[in-house]
Structure 1
C-alpha cells in the first residue's frame, strides 16, 4: 500500500472518530428534543484492532489438480455501529479492513503453482446483524452476543494482485464479548468473532476450489456511547 493510501485511511478513521465525538457532544449539549436524545442514547460507535487467522482449504480445481489455498495471518480493524433498544433487541453494522496474501500450492507440497508468490488483497467485510446484551455482568463487564450476514470484498492490489479481478463472497458471522464502561460515554470492548465464506477464486478456473473457509478475529478496542 502506498504512503498516500495509508494516509487516506488514517484520515478517514480520524474523521469518523471526530464525527462520533462531535455528535456525542451535541447530544449532551441539548435536551430540547427528548425523542432525539432517546434514540441517540441507544447508539454506540466502536473501533477494534483484530487479528485475522484464516483456515487453509484444499480442493480440486477445474483443471483437475489438487490445490491448497493458504491465507497469511495479519492484523486489521473492525468498526461497529450499534443501536440497542433493549437488552435483547439491537442491531449493528460492521466494517472490517485487512490486507493479506493468499498463496496456492499443490496439495501436500510447499511448491507454488499457477501464481508464484500468491495474490495480495485488500479485504473488507460489510455486514448487518442482530445483537443482544444480556443484563448479567461477567467479571464486572457487560456481555454481548451478535450474529449476522453480509459480504466480503476481495480486491487484489495493483502491485501484488497478479492483475486478477475483484470478487465478493457472501459472509456469515457470530461474535461474543465483554464491554466495560470507564465513563458514561466511553468504554473498552474485547470480543471473539468468526466469519464464514467461500474461498475466493478471482474468477479463474485454476484457482476455483468450491470450498468454504472461515476466519477467526479476536479483537480489543474502545467504544463511544452517545
Structure 2
C-alpha cells in the first residue's frame, strides 16, 4: 500500500513539473509572437528627376568634344509595402520591408527619348523605435535601415534591358493605432529611399546621379 501511494505521489510530482514546464514554454512562445506584426500598406511612389553629363564620351548624338546631358524622369505611380516587425521593447525593434512598384523611367537621351517600363522590388532591413508615449492617441514610430532595390524592365515595355540592383538606404516616420482589438490596427507613414539612379548597365544612360523616392503610405497591421 505504501509503495502504491509513493508511486502515485511521484507520478503527481512529475505531471506537475512537466505541466509547469509546458505552461512556461507556451507563455514564452506567446510572448515572442506578441512582439511580431505583419503590415500591409498602399504607397504613393514619387521619385526625383535627375540629370547630368553622360559619362561615355563617344555616345551618339553628342557634338565632338562637348558633354552630352541626360535627364532621367521616373513617372509617379502607386505600389505596395509589406513589413514584418519584431518589437522587443519600445526603443528596440527590427523590421523587414518588401516594396513593389511599377512605373516608367523616361530618358531624354538619346534622341528620340526612351521610355523604359520597369518593376522595382525593395528588400530592406531596419531598426525601429516605437516610443511608449502617444501623440493625440496615436503611437508614433521611426525607423531606418538599408538593403537593395531590384529594377526589372518589363517583358513588353522594358526595351529588352537587363535587371539591375542598387544599394538602398531608407528612413521612415509614422503613426499607428489599435482598432477593435490588440491584434489589429491602422498605420500611416512617410518614407524616403536613397539610391543611385538605375542605368540598366547601359553606358549611354550612365550619369552616376543619386536620387530619392518619397513614399506616403497608409494601411493596416496584424499582431500575432
TM-score (norm 1): 0.82
Report matched runs for 1:74-85 at 5 Å. Answer: 74-85=77-88
**Structure 1 equivalent of residue 218 of structure 2:** 220
**Structure 2 equivalent of residue 191 of structure 1:** 189
Change (3 A) 1:158 1:174: same
**Structure 1 equivalent of residue 95 of structure 2:** 92
**Structure 1 equivalent of residue 76 of structure 2:** 73
2:72 matches 1:55: no
**1:143 deviation in Å?**
0.2
2:41 matches 1:43: no
**Alpha-carbon distance in 2 for matches of 1:51, 1:105:** 24
**1:114 deviation in Å?**
4.9
**Alpha-carbon distance in 2 for matches of 1:198, 1:114:** 23
Report matched runs for 1:152-163 at 5 Å. Answer: 152-163=149-160
**Structure 1 equivalent of residue 64 of structure 2:** none
**1:56 deviation in Å?**
0.3
**1:139 deviation in Å?**
1.4
**Alpha-carbon distance in 1 for matches of 2:96, 2:217:** 16
Structure 2: unaligned runs, 5 residues or longer: 1-22, 60-66
Q: Which has the larger radius of gyration?
A: 2
Change (3 A) 1:202 1:115: farther
Deviations 1:145-174 (A, max 9, x none): 000000000000010000000000000000
**Structure 2 equivalent of residue 129 of structure 1:** 126
Give runs of ≥4 in structure 1 deviating > 2 Å: 113-117
| Contact kept in structure 1, 2:108 and 2:114, CA below 8 Å | no
**Alpha-carbon distance in 2 for matches of 1:166, 1:115:** 23
TM-score (norm 2): 0.82
- Farther off after superposition, 73-82 or 62-71: 62-71
Deviations 1:88-120 (A, max 9, x none): 0000000000000001115xxxxxx35644110
**Structure 2 equivalent of residue 175 of structure 1:** 172
